[in-house]
Amino acid sequence: DGGITQSPKYLFRKEGQNVTLSCEQNLNHDAMYWYRQDPGQGLRLIYYSQIVNDFQKGDIAEGYSVSREKKESFPLTVTSAQKNPTAFYLCASSTPRTGGTEAFFGQGTRLTVV
Amino acid sequence: AQTVTQSQPEMSVQEAETVTLSCTYDTSESDYYLFWYKQPPSRQMILVIRQEAYKQQNATENRFSVNFQKAAKSFSLKISDSQLGDAAMYFCAYPLLGTYKYIFGTGTRLKVLA
Looking at residue B11, the DSSP 8-state letter turns out to be: E
Give the nearest chain B residue to A109 (CA atoms): B43
User: Are A94 and B31 spatial neighbours (Cβ–Cβ below 8 Å)?
Assistant: no
Give the nearest chain A residue to B44 (CA atoms): A107
B95 pLDDT tier (thresholds 50, 70, 90): confident
Contact: B50, A100; criterion CB under 8 Å: yes
For the beta carbon of residue B104, count every other beta carbon within 10 angstroms: 22
pLDDT tens figures, B4-51: 999 999 999 999 999 999 999 998 887 888 999 999 999 999 999 999
Alpha carbon of B45: minimum distance to chain A alpha carbons (Å):
6
User: To 5 degrees, how large is the angle CA A45–CA A50–CA A55?
Assistant: 65
For the beta carbon of residue A56, count every other beta carbon within 10 angstroms: 14
pLDDT tens figures, B39-82: 999 999 999 999 988 888 899 999 999 999 999 999 999 999 99
- Residue A33 with chain B: CB contacts under 8 Å: 102
Alpha carbon of B15: minimum distance to chain A alpha carbons (Å):
25
Q: Which of B9, B43, B47 sits opposite A102 (nearest CB)?
A: B47
Listed residue (A37, A31, A33) closest to A91, CA to CA: A33
Please indicate whether residue B96 or residue B49 has the higher confidence score (pLDDT): B49
Q: Which of A41, A88, A103 sits opposite B43 (nearest CB)?
A: A88
Which pLDDT score, from 0 to 100, does residue B25 have?
Answer: 93
Q: Which of B6, B44, B100 sits opposite A31 (nearest CB)?
A: B100
Phi/psi for B57 (5° steps) reads: -75, 135
Average of per-residue pLDDT across A75-104? 87
